[in-house]
Homo-oligomer: A and B are copies of this chain.
Amino acid sequence: MSKYSVILGNLGNTRDRFLSSGYKDELPKETLIRQAAEIEGVKGIELVGTWDVTIDNTDEVGELLSKYGLECVSIIPDHFSQKRWGRGSLSAKDPDIRQQALDYTFECVEIARKLGCKTLNVWPGQDGYDYILQSNLIQERNWLMENIKKVAASAPDIKFALEYKPKEPRNFSFMARASDTLLLAKETQLDNVGVCIDTGHALVAGENVAESVVILQTYGKKLFHMHFNDNYGSWDDDMIVGAIHFPLYVETLFWLKETNYDGWFSMDQYPYREDGQGALRESVRFLQMIDATLTDSVMDEIRGLVNTGDAVQSQRWLRETFFK
């Protein structure tokens, strides 16, 4: 069985551009951590900078994680929720902002080390552009790569999982797709720079998630982290796993095992109006159901299916194997 984790903030308040005060109430951090720990099978937690952890409260947060028996799976630096990053962070046109973003990312390395956390999950959501003719595409993409390289070169003990997403909050992100981001990771020439797949981001990118897994693993074992959720296909709706799609999760888990992915299965949702703990729990259970089915003999059956390529046979197999 795989290792399951959740992002702490998924349990907290949720906002959007229309309801900026939020759909829910603010809860104390300890409540959130306790709720995470209560989800059966969850052993790890991801923390978002600013929202969940800062250099100033790292020790306090670490103690809470210990108290509830959770391992810190990744730190997600806050490159997106501060006004200063509004027009970009590590690739901002303004050199002062770029430097601040760089300094802050170094700081996140320190936070991670203090928490015994091995991974920085880097999602520079504000790095990109909205309008045509708004970006010096060569220069800005290069700043992004160089700045990631600087931090990663200085911290070989930390893995840098670059999380891609085609759009939002910018209309175009520089790290938009699996392969774009892999190219950037390879350009750093550093073994500790890889990629994080968020299943919902991959769907919005029009990718078949399993193929993205294969591409990243084939070109140098570069899949460092996995975020799970579901959506309707055109936007990052961040829903409970299995709410829309089914067979894609089977294929994704098959190829994760087949390519020896040994990282975490982390839930990354945005339960705007749902009970956060319940939403995460349901996602974990849905994945565990598939996970438990993929025994050695079932893995062999799937190998047979993908080598045969008979869609009728595959659909029948899926129905008979998973449905009552």
Contacts and interface: CB of A to CB of B under 8 A. Distances in A.
Interface of A: 14-23, 80-83, 85-87, 93, 125-126, 129-139, 141-142, 166-169, 171-172, 176-180, 182-183, 187, 204-208, 210-211, 214-215, 218-219, 232-235, 237, 239-240, 242-248, 250-251, 254-255, 258-259, 270-275, 278-279, 281-282, 285-286, 289, 302-303, 305-307, 309-319, 321-324
Contacts of A215: 141, 180, 183
A83 B232 contact: no
A87 to B, nearest CB: 6
Given A232-B233, A233-B233, A289-B323, A240 B312 contact: yes
Given A132-B251, A233-B233, A233-B234, 11 more contacts: A16-B17, A17-B270, A19-B86, A171-B232, A235-B235, A242-B319, A244-B247, A246-B246, A282-B316, A322-B324, A324-B324
Contacts of A211: 137, 172
A54 B281 CA distance: 41
Oligomeric state, in copies: 4
Given A19-B82, A206-B206, A246-B245, A234 B232 contact: no
Contacts of A22: 20, 83
A197 B80 CA distance: 32
Given A20-B20, A248-B244, A323-B324, A133 B302 contact: yes
A309 B177 contact: no
Contacts of A206: 166-167, 176, 204-206, 234
A80 B19 contact: yes
Contacts of A168: 16, 235
A271 B305 CA distance: 18
A273 B306 contact: no
